[in-house]
């Protein structure tokens, strides 16, 4: 699949405001500062599409980007950033859980994790919530250019082992680097497959 056109559509504070049409949402989420905006810009080939911020926790809204007038790429707020107020943080803010669990447009979710880190409790809790609610998702490891090939493989294996303690069947996993466009074709092709599935 190719992504030829990507345009900002709207920002929503709650799920009642998301676009009301038949097009499917492919959403991206992760801890604050995981490199979500950079990944979205890399996948769409539009460097300034999602605003990249040096300040974690910048995305507080649900941002819809219209792709090739056919589907939406959705940038969700990051979760678990320590410097936002506790009320805003409440682990997975209501805006996130409402969208992920209740928005009928949401067709598939990519959970982004930093490949350099040990499996983080907050990510594992989020993934567990997805499993309990039957939400279809895959994992994208970000910032792969920061590790050697051997270290990358080790990190992915460690994640698989951790998830394997609870999951019989592991989700799809992709290794990416926004800097080097690593994983772009595999992720975009996988999105194409997801969109074909009813």
Domains and CATH numbers, the chain: 6-196 (3.40.50.300)
Confidence category of residue 32, pLDDT binned at 50, 70, 90:
confident
Q: Which residue has the tokens 């959403």?
A: 27
Distances (CA, A) of 22 to 18, 81, 84, 176: 12, 33, 35, 30
CB 166 within 8 Å of CB 160? no
Mean pLDDT confidence for 170-190: 97
Instruction: Reply yes or no on whether the pLDDT at 196 is more than 50.
Output: yes
* Lowest model confidence (mean pLDDT) among 52-61, 163-172, 185-194: 52-61
> How does pLDDT run across 49-87, given as a tens digit for each residue?
988 655 555 557 899 999 999 999 999 988 875 555 555
Instruction: Reply yes or no on whether the pLDDT at 159 is more than 50.
Output: yes
pLDDT the model gives residue 28: 98
The phi, psi pair for 101, rounded to 5°, reads -95, -25
pTM of the model: 0.92
pLDDT the model gives residue 88: 46
């Amino acid at each position: 699949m190719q992504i030829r056109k990507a345009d900002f559509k709207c920002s929503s504070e709650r799920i009642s405001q998301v676009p009301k049409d038949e097009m499917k949402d492919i959403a991206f989420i992760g801890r604050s500062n995981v490199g979500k905006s950079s990944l979205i810009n890399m996948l769409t080939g539009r460097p300034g599409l999602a605003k990249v911020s040096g300040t974690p926790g910048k995305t507080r809204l649900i941002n819809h980007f219209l792709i090739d007038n056919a589907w939406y790429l959705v940038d969700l707020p990051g979760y678990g950033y320590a410097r936002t107020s506790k009320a805003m943080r409440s682990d997975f803010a209501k805006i996130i859980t409402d969208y992920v669990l209740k928005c009928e447009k949401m067709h598939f979710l990519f959970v982004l994790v930093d490949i350099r880190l040990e499996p983080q409790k907050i990510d594992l809790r989020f993934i567990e919530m997805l499993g309990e609610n039957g939400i279809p998702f895959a994992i994208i490891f970000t910032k792969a250019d920061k590790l050697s090939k051997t270290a990358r493989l080790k990190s992915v294996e460690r994640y698989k082992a951790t998830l394997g303690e609870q999951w019989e069947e592991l989700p799809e996993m992709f290794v990416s680097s926004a800097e080097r466009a690593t994983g772009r074709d595999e992720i975009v092709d996988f999105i194409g497959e997801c969109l074909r599935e009813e």
